[in-house]
Each structure stands twice: as C-alpha cells, then as structure tokens.
Amino acid sequence: MHVYEVRPRKDRRGVDLLSDALPFGRMGSGKSNYVVTVAVRRAVQVATILGGMKPTVKAAARSFIICRISMIAASTICSRSLSTNLKTIRTLVLAIMFAASVVANANAGLHTVPSPQIDGQLSATAVIADNDIWAVGFSDQVPAPPVVDSTLAEHFDGTSWSIIPTPPLPSGNAQFLGVAGAASNDVWAVGLSPSGALVEHFDGTSWSVVSSPAFTGVSVAAISADASNDVWVVGGNGSNAGVEHWDGTSWSIISSPAFTGVSLNAVSADASNDVWAVGVASTIFGAPFSGPAVLHFDGTSWSLINPNTSLDSVSVTALSPTNVWAVGTVFVFFNHRTHRKAAIEHWDGTSWSIVPSPDPTHSPGLDSFLSGIAAISASDVWAVGFNFINLGGWDTLTEHWDGTSWKIIGSSNPGNFKDALFGVSTLSDGTVAAVGFQQDQGFDAMALIMKK
C-alpha cells in the first residue's frame, strides 16, 4: 500500500494554492483518495445540473456511467501525488461537465427503437398514449421488380412494436399516407389503393376498409382527428381540393368555393372551429392565384389564404387560431442549378411568414427537406425530414422550436446509405414519435421508427 503526503504550495499570502483552487475546504496530508472522491462527486453534481438531467431512471443511468468514468480517472490521479496533479483534476472536472452536456444533448434527440424489420417505408404516425402509438406506410410484398406495395400498420403497446394485419386488397400497389386517432378503439388511416382512395378504421380489435360515396373520384393525402365525431380527410380530385368529414356517424363531402383550383397535402385541427390545410393553388384550374395555398375552417365556412411565401408546404400543425406551423421546402439557386432547402413558416393570426431555421447541409449545393411537424406546446414543436450528405446519401433531420428559435437536434442514422423521416406526432407528456425508412448500400429500404 502506498501512502502519499500532500504538501500544498502556498502563495505570497500564505494561501494553499491547491486548496484554494478546488471546490472544497483545506486538505491535509494522507487525504488523497478522499479529496479526489469529493472532487469527482462535486464534478458529477455540477455536470448533472448543467446537463439538464432530470431525476429519472434514464438520468440515473447516465449519472452512473459518468461516475464510473470518473472513478477510473480518479484512481489514475490517486496513483500520483496530488500536489502535482492540479491540472489533471481540473481537466477531469471539465471533461465530466463536457460529457454530461454531450449526453444530455444526445438524449434530447430522437433515437431508433427496435421494430419489425420489414422492407418498406413508414409515412405517418399517431401518438394516442405513451403505450398506444401507430405507424403506417407500406411494405414490399415482392421486393424484386415489379415491386408490389401493400399497406403496413405497426403498433406500440408500451413494450414493443408489432405489425397489425390490415385487410387484403385487390392486386396492385396500396399504401397508407396518414393516420390519426381519437381513442385506442377509434383510429383512422388513409391512403391509396388500386381502386382509388383508401380509408380504413381500427376499432380496438382489427382494421377494416370503410366504403363511402364521399371518397369516389378523389385522392386522399392526410387525416386529422380532433375528436371521435370530428375527423377530417383532405386531398384532391384533379382540379379541386377534396375535403371529407366524419361526424361520428357517416362521412360526407364538403363543398366550398375556396376549394377551386386547390390540391391539399396536409390537415391539422386543434378544435372543431379551427382547422387548417396546406397545399398548392393554380389559376389554370380556377384558383385566384398560383403557388402555395392555405385553407382555414372557422366552424362555419372555409376560406382560402394566400400565404405570400415561397414555401411548398407538405405538413401543418395547429395549436390555436393564432399559432400555426407548416413545413416544406423552398427553392434556392446555386451553381447554375435549382436546389430544395428545408424551410418553416408560421401563422401569427394575421399573416404567414417564413421563420429562420438552420441549414443542416451547411452547403447551398445540397438539398434538404422537412416533411412532418407536430407540436406539444407553443414552446415545444418538432419537425422532421432528411438532408443530403453527398450526392447519394441521406441523413435524418430533426429540428426543434423552443419558443424562441429553431435548432437542429441530433437524431440517429442506422442505415449506412440513406435515412429519412417523413412523419412525426407528439403527446402532451413529451412523447415524440417519428417514422420513415433506413437503407444500407445495396439493400432495400426498411421501415424506421424513432422515439423520444
């Protein structure tokens, strides 16, 4: 056993330099292990505070890891005289604080969760409860050409994800594009089938196809369920917006002059008298303007709004009549070519405007896309998509609004070639779920689910 004697140097005031520098009182000889233990403990406490680690099981696990690393470093320090290791201890403290910050930031993002490995893609998700989450899209029945896609529905029960069977459809491609639910036994999914628009309902036990004249001759793109008797589906019929509504009993076609010349991509309702839909308008088909378009329902009638922005919106989330977000892309011109850049716009009750957001590519020559957005609160909004990292590879893209600004939040990329997110949904308890696909070089794309 080695015993070390610590003899602190004193400055001209007679103050112990080492004792003065460290966050504890004067130390005496023969206390090297105790001193470092306290130093490590204090460092971990500070790191925990600065890292924003909440007192949860995950936080405890992170702190345990940091403590383990610290103990190893501490034992290294204790093998030498402390009087010669002030810089080492200080470095240790800073390293622990930095590690906590990195871990906390990583934990703030979305991470891949185990799910059925199936060829295909997930396009949308709906969080009904933290133990009741749906993800829908399509799977490749025949991965080799000619590829045949079939509807895919996956469910999280609080423990694991599993594929829930959907009704067989006539031969040909079929896929889900949107999903929404008002309760565990009241979930809707919409998409495309060989016969046209596809609408299915889950009653808590199984999925079934819902037939209605309201869906004849229209394509459906998205769905929003504010309540069991207030469900909206939007899309188009070639020249006009297609809007259908479920009142708890039956589906009906909604007509409005505001729909003329408009095609819709997404819909969000935060109340029965506050429904928003985004898409594009064309004067060729009779709209009063051409370009990005927004439709709003105030409980009585629909109105067409020209956002006067360059954003091609593909997803929208409404928090109130004066707080609505939409995401998509804008065109930028660089090096004699047109590129798409991820962009975000906001409605403040008076006008739409594009809000500054970070460029994930850091290069005007690489494209980026935002394809889904969902809000927990006015200061907690999530947007997902993907960005090019080279001429062929993609990375997932996650951005977060904290009430002041948009920031890129780390998200995992399990594929070594392409990773992308297309849909996101949230819950008031802070749950965030996002879906898309992952792909390794030379292999088919596979369904991808991420969660926070």
pLDDT along the chain (452 residues), means of 10: 42 42 38 48 46 39 49 50 53 52 56 94 97 96 69 97 93 91 97 91 97 83 96 91 95 95 97 97 96 97 97 97 98 84 97 96 86 98 95 92 97 94 97 97 92 93
Give the per-residue pLDDT at 88: 56
What is residue 338's predicted lDDT score, i.e. its pLDDT? 85
pLDDT at 118: 92
For the chain, what are the domain ranges?
A: 17-108, 112-451
Would you state the pLDDT for residue 21?
36
Q: pTM above 0.85?
A: no
Contacts of 165 (CB under 8 A, 6+ apart): 206, 207
Torsion of CA 57, 61, 66, 72, to 10 degrees: 140
Superfamily the domain 112-451 falls into = YVTN repeat-like/Quinoprotein amine dehydrogenase (2.130.10.10)
Tokens in use for 369? Answer: 């896309």
Q: In what order do the strands lie in the sheet with 219-227?
A: 219-227, 230-236, 241-246, 251-254
pLDDT score for 22: 36
pLDDT at 144: 58
- 14 HSE (CA, 13 A, CB side): 0
Cis peptide before 145 (omega within 30 of 0): no
As a whole number of Å, the CA-based R_g of the chain is: 27
Give every strand in the sheet of 196-202, ordered side by side. Answer: 175-183, 186-193, 196-202, 207-209
Which residue(s) pair with 111 in the sheet?
A: 451
Q: Express each pLDDT in 187-226 by its tens digit.
A: 999 999 988 899 999 999 999 999 888 778 888 999 999 9
Q: What is the token pair recorded at 359?
A: 């460029």
List the beta bridge partners of residue 419: 438
3-state secondary structure of 15: coil
Best CA proximity match to 377, nearest among 296, 423, 318: 318
Contacts of 452 (CB under 8 A, 6+ apart): 108, 109, 110, 111, 430, 431, 432, 433
